[in-house]
Structure 1
Amino acid sequence: MAEDTEDDELKAKRWAWWLTVSERLEEASSRSVWRLRVLWGAKGPTQKEAALLRQFISEFKGMSITEVGEWLAGTAWWEWRLLRNEEARRLQQEAEARGFRVETVEDGLDDPAIAHVRSLLRAHRDAHSEAARYWISFHPSFHEGGCILVTLGPGESLVSVASRAHHETVPVPDERGLRFLEELAAIDPLGVPGENQIGLDGISLTCLVEERQGRREFSTWSPDPKQYPREHGFVWAVYQLAMDAARGPATWRFLEEMFGYLNNNDERLPVKHFDEVPRRIRLFGSLSSMKEKALDTLFASVSPDEPLLMDLSNLERMGTLLYPRFAHFHARPGRTAWWVSAPAARHLLGAGIPRSHLHDTLEAARAALLDTSRGG
């Protein structure tokens, strides 16, 4: 009998444990978000499929069947991101009822770095409900996604960036934080419309604003500053704050990849300045001939005799029309050391800059710049 009683107690404990685990799993599931794809042939939907898509995809309800077909020509699927459970189930049922194949995967929770920053958002909200928080999730077409979180006070203001299992949280200097708030005040982020734009190539952005006066969530697709100035203004203000504050190379590379999606100004230079001695200037991504004036302005900001470390370690492409500008800048009296990627090295050699001034690592570039025995 004693053994039977012990077995019953053990079973009861196991059942209580299982109920606790089930409740936690159900609670976690209720917070999950999903990515859902509706698939068709690789050349785009047929006329019949375009007609069926109009029936349940809200973005297409105002279009004709021909317009839907033309819009989706050459595509193989339509995708939603960050769907809640109920909405993902509804759309899956709607699509499958019309004969479409559907793929669903959990979205945003597979990267532990993003999950960590989400936890920072929740912790800050729980501890300081009246403080301000600004969040953006990035879902680009051709790169890994990530997120930025800005928390303002009380006490220290912080910006957190996450992507590719890496996250970084750094303080925001008071002066930079005030400038950020001034930029947001001109936008009124709680009133951003968040138009439901759609697109095939570009970036999907999910934004959250939490301030004492209220809360606002909105999504936008590659917002053009002329058509959607407030959406673009909010995203750019948060992005630029993170870009200015970030310290880690992995964070820089993620943000630099996002620059290509967010920058709608052909003349804006992809540049980051470092408050270091000697001074370091980082150019990244692509430099086209349209950036001639911006490049001239950047080079003119450097004193002729100032020693400088030019960081081109993440530069991928450069227009050959820019070569004379780089050659002229290198020939100034001040010493310049170049930290280069393989593509950047090819471009600088093409511009006539000696190989001895090009370096594969930051340490080598710094050492060369500080070596007074070497010529300029």
Structure 2
Amino acid sequence: MLTTPEKDSSCPRCGGLIGDTRLEWEPHGGGISFSCLSCDYERRIPATGPSFWDDYPALWQLRIRWSGETVSLKEAALLRQFVPGFRRQSIAEVREFLGSASGWTVDELSEPSMRQIRQDAEDRGFQVEVGARGSDRPQVRLPRPGSGTAGYCVRLSPSFHERGFILATFGPEGGAVSIARGNSSRETVDVPSARGLRFLEEVTALEPLSIPDVSTLGLDGISLECLVQEARGNHRFFAWSPRPDKAPRQHGFVGALFRLAMDVARESGTVEYLEQLHMYVEDVLPAKVFEETPRRIRLFGMLSSTHAEALRSLFAGVRPGEPIVMDLSNLEGMGTLLHPLFARFHARTGRTVWRVSAPAARHLEEAGVSKDCLYEDLEQARAALLRG
């Protein structure tokens, strides 16, 4: 049990009133913090007795490095032999997926999994770095027990992107979502009541206090640490890239939080971060349509050949002759099999301009789109489209 401050406690420095207590969940033992409402005095009382986290073994981080600045064809072929997510891909697809990265990091490994992957990699000549799970995870502060507020959180440890978390809290005064990227960037926004109710209905149907861990593990996905705090109790479970067919409750919990965050996030940095995580969490085409004048279609994250049919449908929904701004400013890459789809869309009767990231520009040029139609700035792209 956690120790708690006395109800009639006052500040030992100035005698002022002590504010609400706060329960802090941390990897190796939590505690209760409280502060004075009149001065800057603050105190933390550590947990006594077993920590909520102590039932879980230490987790490990592993990084595989290759000999050059980018992975070679031979090294990509070797990775296919022991990385589960690469076995169904060609050597060229593995190499393209890894892009310009000089190594590959995977988090949240159990010790047996870490040792097996390390052995497999070193047997094939890779350099491997191993360490206990780092302390750089963004810290989550959940609502205090007995406050009437429920908390639902997922810590995100993607293979190729920055760590973060999504925390949704709901109480007597309404709901709020906090979205963190690393330890410095954080946005907190209120949740409209109708949207919050829809989220709570989704989560309640999953019976979140009994969702089990998912034992499946790999190297090219996302490690997820999920936290639940309700009046009935607390719960934590782990999952690695849960799919709706294999782990529907785990996938449903993470997906509900992710969609809620996508719906309410407003700051550009937060939105871009969530878009980058889309490929780890959702299977649908990463696209948004903005009913502006001219209309804007935004594609983001990673596009693969599995998105081909949805992409055809999206392009088919554009009216003949309609001017369109295609916003690919947060696109990180695409499969080359999609190039003909982009080429045909650009060649349609309506005029199209493209706002691009550097990877998007490279892919579009390879697909035959002229550099004259590519812009880094959205306003420049709009102005060019209006000029005809």
TM-score bracket, normalised by the shorter chain, equals 0.5 to 0.7
* TM-score normalised according to structure 2 size: 0.63
Point out the more displaced range, 195-204 or 321-330: 195-204
Contact 2:354 2:381 in 1 (8 A): yes
| Alignment equivalent of 1:346, drawn from 340, 362, 374 | 362
Show structure 1 runs of 5+ residues with no match. Answer: 1-12, 14-22, 43-56, 82-104, 109-113
Aligned to 1:111: none
Contact 1:280 1:309 in 2 (8 A): yes
Aligned to 1:146: 164
Does the residue aligned with 2:165 lie in a helix, a strand or coil?
strand
Point out the more displaced range, 336-345 or 211-220: 211-220
Aligned to 2:203: 184
1:244 partnered with 2:244: no
1:134 partnered with 2:181: no
* TM-score normalised according to structure 1 size: 0.65
Q: Distance in 2 between matches of 1:239 and 1:170?
A: 14
| Alignment equivalent of 2:187, drawn from 141, 163, 168 | 168
Aligned to 1:211: 230
Return the offset for 1:310: 1.5
Aligned to 2:175: 157
| Alignment equivalent of 1:106, drawn from 128, 135, 140 | 135
| Alignment equivalent of 1:74, drawn from 104, 121, 131 | 121
Does the residue aligned with 2:226 lie in a helix, a strand or coil?
strand
Does the residue aligned with 1:157 lie in a helix, a strand or coil?
strand
Question: How many percent identity over aligned positions?
Answer: 51
Aligned to 1:94: none
1:290 partnered with 2:309: no
Return the offset for 1:107: 4.3
Q: Which has the larger radius of gyration?
A: 1
Contact 1:138 1:205 in 2 (8 A): yes
Does the residue aligned with 2:121 lie in a helix, a strand or coil?
coil
Aligned to 1:220: 239
Return the offset for 1:177: 3.0
Q: Distance in 2 between matches of 1:202 and 1:212?
A: 33
Contact 2:343 2:369 in 1 (8 A): yes
Aligned to 2:334: 318
Return the offset for 1:77: 6.1
Return the offset for 1:207: 0.9
Contact 1:37 1:77 in 2 (8 A): no
| Alignment equivalent of 1:299, drawn from 315, 318, 336 | 315
| Alignment equivalent of 1:356, drawn from 355, 372, 375 | 372
Contact 2:59 2:110 in 1 (8 A): no
Q: CA separation of 1:180/1:351 partners in 2, compared to 1, >3 Å: closer, same or farther?
A: same
One-letter code aligned to 1:182:
E
Aligned to 1:233: 252
Contact 1:35 1:79 in 2 (8 A): no
Task: Give runs of aligned pairs for residues 362-373 of structure 1, distance below 5 A.
Answer: 362-369=378-385, 371=386
Return the offset for 1:144: 1.8
Q: CA separation of 1:138/1:275 partners in 2, compared to 1, >3 Å: closer, same or farther?
A: farther
Q: Distance in 2 between matches of 1:340 and 1:330?
A: 14
Return the offset for 1:308: 3.0
Does the residue aligned with 1:147 lie in a helix, a strand or coil?
strand
Contact 1:35 1:106 in 2 (8 A): no
Q: CA separation of 1:38/1:357 partners in 2, compared to 1, >3 Å: closer, same or farther?
A: closer
Q: CA separation of 1:141/1:179 partners in 2, compared to 1, >3 Å: closer, same or farther?
A: same
Q: Distance in 1 between matches of 2:219 and 2:340?
A: 37
Aligned to 2:106: none
Q: How many residue pairs end up in the alignment? A: 298
Aligned to 2:88: none
Q: Distance in 2 between matches of 1:156 and 1:38?
A: 38
Contact 1:136 1:235 in 2 (8 A): yes
One-letter code aligned to 1:143:
H
Return the offset for 1:162: 0.9
What do you get for the CA RMSD once the two structures are aligned? Answer: 4.1
Deviation by residue 1:7-26 (Cα, 9 ceiling, x = unmatched): xxxxxx9xxxxxxxxx9588
Aligned to 2:281: 262
Return the offset for 1:130: 2.0
Bigger share in helix: 1
Q: CA separation of 1:148/1:324 partners in 2, compared to 1, >3 Å: closer, same or farther?
A: same
